[in-house]
Chains A and B, each alone.
Chain A
């Protein structure tokens, strides 16, 4: 057991450090430092432009998506080097949020199912951030029950014609491409009638309408499909094999979200270090210390759990469903931390103006954004089901739709 860098790792770290020291957008350092979960700040600069600029710069020098093969714009690096890179990139990695879906979920799905020519064309541009991708899975009537989706794809010659609606599509409004799961057969049980595609988001008949979120931002969208035509060559996997393909995406989603997840611990620690309550330092208050210890133990537990997963990965083992715990623990924890941090400040804690609020209003932003963590990419309840069934081996829930043809299943609208 050893936590120090090996010799090769140390050499690699120095190389990364040197490059980042020279090339990172230091003019954003101050704003990014004041950024918290749910509030990426770039000061007077446009966040999307800055994100693209940094990504392209990394890609040109071979530092984008370093674990991908070289021919796809990566560096062919191992998982440990990936961790070293992200440790050293540090605060500048806050710029990469825009690309998580494309790089973390769409690209791995493409690499598993698209043709070599297609991958040659698309993957390097995902790495460089020149093209942004989105994930068109959830629908108004099917989120947790993803396999209950209704968006239809009908074959017409060498093309498929798409009609229906997706919702909650993060970044659809800034995306160039997307992966789309559709229903191609309603006569068979729900998991068997699905087919996956990728498509150009500028295709005729795609209508994207931003949704205003509970925290006031507009990161996700409704996407309508009105006779949108997709060439059969852009199908991923078999006709009727879409569920299998989606599992690749979802497994990577949990890795992408779970690996480097924010927990809110640094924010609450910074607050109680400085804050005064009842005439004393907040951090000296026993109730505060008790909570702090609990949260530290949890965030350390997540960090150490992913270090174990990495060790397993670097020995060639496949990461399993146990990686579901990251988001499950962090989501609720961030909500608790934000609430507790505001509570310590009394009514003044309600202020969201970063110029006035403590810590540039990071806890307030966290309060308003964290509820979504418990929903996006699998709700807390779905994750617990997964742990219970797939890790602990407990019996499946009763499913009334099991084995029934999709068009015979009762639904909210019928």
Chain B
């Protein structure tokens, strides 16, 4: 057994961290939240130039192919810096959908362009303000076109194409849902920015009106494919969450050492100390579960669904707790627009919902437990 990342993987992490320290302090997310931009083109370009978009894409398709553990550590850094780029949508979701389910021809067409950052992808699932189910999807495919509305698509404002789930009556033996690839630049597509708790996620409503599409893969059951894509992406999102949790905790600890009240640093009050100790504990548990999940992802382990749900549940808890109590440690300052506390709070709560909320993942976790646990 060896429960640690390799030296090479850690080196990649350190490079990303150095780049983001210079390029992506929270000012970048702040300008998104302030409404000046919806994402950072500069940071995105930097990530592309470093080859990070091709991290898990096999070399045969133009990627670097260094594997998933490295991608996990990159995700952790992006989360720590609250980086407002379409990285998660394009790399953990759209790219993975094509790697996992695309035909050979589709891989050859799309993956090299995703690897070199020429195009950006996202995934379009949600249609209503209810948690999605297999029977709730209304968007539908007729022949080679797609019609329907996706209510909230993360990074929909910048993506060039989307992997969309839609009904496809009659085409499939065991499911009526398929995945398709839709060009978002097409004239039949209308994109409307939608305000959310985290503006830096660049969310849009997307209307498809007889939009030309290609079906993803060959006879792919759309619903179970999304579940599989989500299971894998949940691990990468969990790494973003622990990255964010660590930053929020660090911010709280720093402030508590410097701010004085009643003639002493507020960090010497036990009420705050114990709160921060609990933040640390939640983070440690989540971090260790993420490590395990990284291994499951890298080895295509049978335990992946359980490991993913476990990492996701504890990382969600950790980031929510750390971002919430970071505000508390800061007192009134914590509730100002000017301080960064709300940026972590916004991001943590958006990330919680992005692949289906906590209850969804708790349910998945329990469904994945072996019978005699």
Indicate if the CB atoms of B295 and A2 lie closer than 8 Å. Answer: yes
Is the beta-carbon distance between B273 and A311 smaller than 8 angstroms? no
Select which of A273, A286, A312, A394 is within 8 A of B257 by beta carbon. Answer: A394
Chain B neighbourhood of A329, CB < 8 A: 281, 285
Beyond A1-B3, A286-B363, A388-B273, is A293–B313 a contact (Cβ under 8 Å)?
yes
How far is it, in angstroms, between the C-alpha of A283 and the C-alpha of B362 when the chains are bound? Answer: 12
A-contact 0/1 string along B1-45, CB 8 Å cutoff: 111111000000000000000000000000000000000000000
A318 contacts chain B at the CB level, 8 A cutoff: no
Contact A293 B3 (CB under 8 A): no
| Segment from A24-32, A106-114, A297-305 that makes contact with B | A297-305
Q: Quick check: is A269 within 8 A (CB to CB) of the other chain?
A: yes
Measured in the bound complex, the distance between the Cα atoms of B270 and A329 in whole Å is 18
Which of chain A's residues have a CB closer than 8 A to the CB of B298?
A: 1
**Chain B residues near A395 (CB, 8 Å)?**
257, 264-265, 267-268
Q: Which residues of A contact B268 (CB under 8 A)?
A: 394-398
Query: Nearest-CB distance from A224 to chain B (Å)?
Result: 34
A300: chain B residues at CB < 8 Å are: 289, 292, 310, 314
The reply on A122 being an interface residue by CB < 8 A is: no
Q: Which of A56-64, A181-189, A227-235, A379-387 contacts B (4 or more CB under 8 A)?
A: A379-387
Q: Please tell me if the beta carbons of A388 and B274 are within 8 angstroms of each other in the complex.
A: yes
DSSP majority for the A interface? helix
A293 with B2: CB separation less than 8 A: no
User: With A300-B289, A394-B267 in contact, is A293–B284 under 8 Å at CB?
Assistant: no
Is A161 in the interface zone, CB < 8 Å from B? Answer: no
Shortest Cβ distance from residue B200 to the other chain A in the assembled complex, whole angstroms: 28
Chain A residues near B363: list those with CB within 8 A: 286, 289, 293
Taking CB as reference atom, which chain A residue is nearest B361? Answer: A293
Which residues in A have their C-beta under 8 angstroms from that of B105?
A: none
A297 touches B5 (CB 8 A): no
B350 to chain A, nearest CB (A): 21
B4 touches A1 (CB 8 A): yes
B280 within 8 A of A: yes
CA distance A174 to B369 in the complex (A): 42
Question: Which residues from chain A contact B286 at a C-beta distance below 8 Å?
Answer: 301
* Most chain B beta carbons < 10 A, residue from A302, A307, A389: A307
CB-CB under 8 A from B256, the residues of chain A are 394
A360 to B274, CA, bound (A): 37
A300 to chain B, nearest CB (A): 5
Instruction: Report A47-83 CB contacts with B as 1/0, cut-off 8 Å.
Output: 0000000000000000000000000000000001001
Structural contact, A3 and B285, CB atoms closer than 8 A? no
Please, how many angstroms separate the alpha-carbon atoms of A301 and B373 in the complex? Answer: 15
Q: Is B366 an interface residue (CB 8 A)?
A: yes
Considering only residues 292-312 of chain B, those with a C-beta below 8 Å from chain A are 292, 294-295, 298, 309-310
A10 to chain B, nearest CB (A): 11
Flag whether A155 is at the interface (Cβ < 8 A).
no
Instruction: Give chain A residues whose Cβ lies under 8 Å from the Cβ of B277.
Output: 383-385, 387-388, 392
Evaluate whether A389 and B359 lie within 8 angstroms (CB atoms) in the complex, with A2-B1, A293-B313 already known: no
Chain B hits for A212, CB < 8 A: none
Determine whether the beta carbon of A387 is less than 8 Å from that of B280. yes
A387 touches B365 (CB 8 A): no
Q: Which of B5, B253, B366 is in CB contact (< 8 Å) with A393?
A: B253
State whether B292 touches A310 (Cβ < 8 A): no
List chain B residues, Cβ under 8 A from A392.
Answer: 249, 253, 276-277, 280
A352 within 8 A of B: no
CA distance A397 to B271 in the complex (A): 11
How many of A's residues come within 8 Å of B, CB to CB? 54
Whether A305 and B2, one on each chain, are in contact in the complex, defined by CB atoms closer than 8 angstroms, is no
Whether A296 sits at the interface, judged by CB under 8 Å, is yes
In the complex, the answer to whether A296 meets B285 with C-beta atoms within 8 Å is: no
The one of A289, A308, A387 in contact with B4, judged by C-beta atoms closer than 8 angstroms, is A308
Residue of B whose beta carbon sits closest to that of A283:
B366
In the complex, what's the smallest C-beta–C-beta distance from A294 to chain B, in angstroms? 7
Write the nearest CB–CB distance from B166 to chain A, whole angstroms.
Answer: 29
Please measure, in the bound complex, the distance between the C-alpha atom of A4 and the C-alpha atom of B264, giving whole angstroms: 50
Residue from B4, B6, B256, B317 whose CB has the most chain A CB atoms within 10 Å: B4
Select from chain B the residue with minimum beta-carbon distance to A2: B2
A17 to chain B, nearest CB (A): 17
User: Contact at A292–B288, with CB atoms within 8 Å?
Assistant: no
Would B288 and A304 count as touching, CB distance under 8 A? yes
Which A127-152 residues have C-beta < 8 A from chain B? Answer: none
Q: Which of A5, A83, A265, A389 interacts with B273 by CB under 8 Å? A: A389
Is B373 a contact partner of A4 (Cβ separation < 8 A)? no
Q: Once the chains bind, are A384 and B278 in contact (CB under 8 Å)?
A: yes
Q: Are B278 and A297 in contact (CB under 8 A)?
A: no
CB of B291 within 8 Å of the partner chain: yes
Tell me the bound Cα distance from A251 to B256 in angstroms. 27
B117 at the interface (CB under 8 A from A): no
Q: Contacts A304-B292, A394-B268 given: A311-B362 contact, CB under 8 Å?
A: no
Closest Cβ–Cβ distance, residue B313 to chain A (whole Å): 5
A393 to B361: give the CA distance in the assembly, Å.
34
Q: Given the complex of chains A and B, what is the CA–CA distance between A384 and B277 in angstroms?
A: 6
CB distance from A330 to the nearest CB of B (A): 11
| Chain B residues with CB under 8 A of A325 | 280-281, 284-285
Residue from A3, A4, A301, A385 within 8 A of B288 (CB atoms): A301
Distance to closest chain B CB from A265 (angstroms):
7
A305 surroundings in chain B (CB, below 8 A): 284-285, 288
Q: Which of B1, B284, B366 contacts A4 (CB 8 A)?
A: B1
Most buried by B among A283, A294, A305, A394: A394
Whether B69 sits at the interface, judged by CB under 8 Å, is yes
Indicate whether A391 reaches chain B with its CB closer than 8 angstroms: yes
- Supply 13 further A-B pairs (C-beta < 8 A) apart from A294-B362, A302-B285: A3-B295, A289-B362, A293-B361, A301-B284, A301-B288, A305-B288, A308-B3, A312-B4, A325-B281, A328-B281, A385-B270, A387-B281, A394-B276
What is the interface of chain A, defined by CB distance below 8 A to chain B? Answer: 1-6, 9, 80, 83, 265-266, 269, 273, 283, 286, 289-290, 292-294, 296-298, 300-305, 307-308, 310-312, 315, 322, 325, 328-329, 381, 383-385, 387-389, 391-398
Nearest 5 interchain pairs by C-beta: A301-B285, A293-B362, A304-B288, A388-B273, A384-B277
**CB-defined A-B contacts under 8 Å, sample of 8:** A1-B69, A80-B1, A293-B309, A293-B313, A298-B285, A301-B314, A304-B291, A389-B273
